[in-house]
Structure 1
Amino acid sequence: MADIISKENRSLLMASVGQKHTKPEVVVRRELHALGFRFRLHDSKLPGRPDILFPRYHSVIMVHGCFWHGHGCRRRPLPESNAAYWRQKIERNMARDAAVLSALETLGWRSLVVWECAVLSNSTLRKHAIARIADWLREDLPSGQIGRSDLI
């Protein structure tokens, strides 16, 4: 399917996509704060500037968009136009994400990747995702990820 807007407008649109305070990130922060967790945001001293940092638990949460970070769920399929570019772009993002998680682990931080599909789904799945995150923090579980398919 061909793109319905011009190349220049598409470029402007994609450039406007934010990196901080995204909707899925804000949802996770709001829910965890309501449960009594306190955290810091986007610590520039750590690799990858983790979205949410829990110094007390020596843990970080990265909230990833399914499209931009290559989750592969049905929520955000790759565009059909300029597919080679997008495939390469997403693969670079995935390689960078793996390097960041490895660097965090080397520094002794536990990390959890929370996918947008887990927290922007229906309210029941979102509640399950938040409960799993809270358990992960409290029980000192190993690094991992939570996506929609992990909750069904």
Structure 2
Amino acid sequence: MNYWLFKSEPDDYSLLDLKNDKNSTVRWDGIRNYQARNLLRDEIKVGDQVLFYHSSCKNIGVAGTAKVVSSPYPDPLQFNPESKYYDPKSKPESPRWVSLDIQYQQEFIKFVPLALIKATKALEEMVLVKRGRLSIQPVTEAEWNIIMKMAKLV
């Protein structure tokens, strides 16, 4: 099992939205960054754990967790001309973009703000701290455990 951080703007889709979705499962789609796409396609596996991160909002940080419940599959939005994620260069026989399904696990007892993560010496090598812009990022088991302690879940 591996650990990941998935970013979402809560005005678009929040942890609460995931929790309230039917079966608390949703397709994670619309990824249009090749590095993030490669992680979805090649690295992330069913059963992997996800830190659900709220970005581009007043309270930036980790709100809770989810888990990966499907293998990657072609992102259907890339084929829809009415979608903002439409890619005219992508073809059904050779899709460029993938999505997968995640399922709600838990909301943190204590929201873990980015400022606290950045101020924690043990997290100074975390991808979020060093190269924070990527929408999907690997998280080490040690980093995961520290975030869980910050959230008062361990």
TM-score, length of structure 1 as denominator length:
0.24
TM-score, length of structure 2 as denominator length:
0.24
Compare the two structures and name the one with the higher helix fraction.
Answer: 1
User: Rg: which structure is higher?
Assistant: 1
Compare the two structures and name the one with the higher strand fraction.
Answer: 2
Relative contact order, CA 8 A, sep 6+: which one is greater?
2
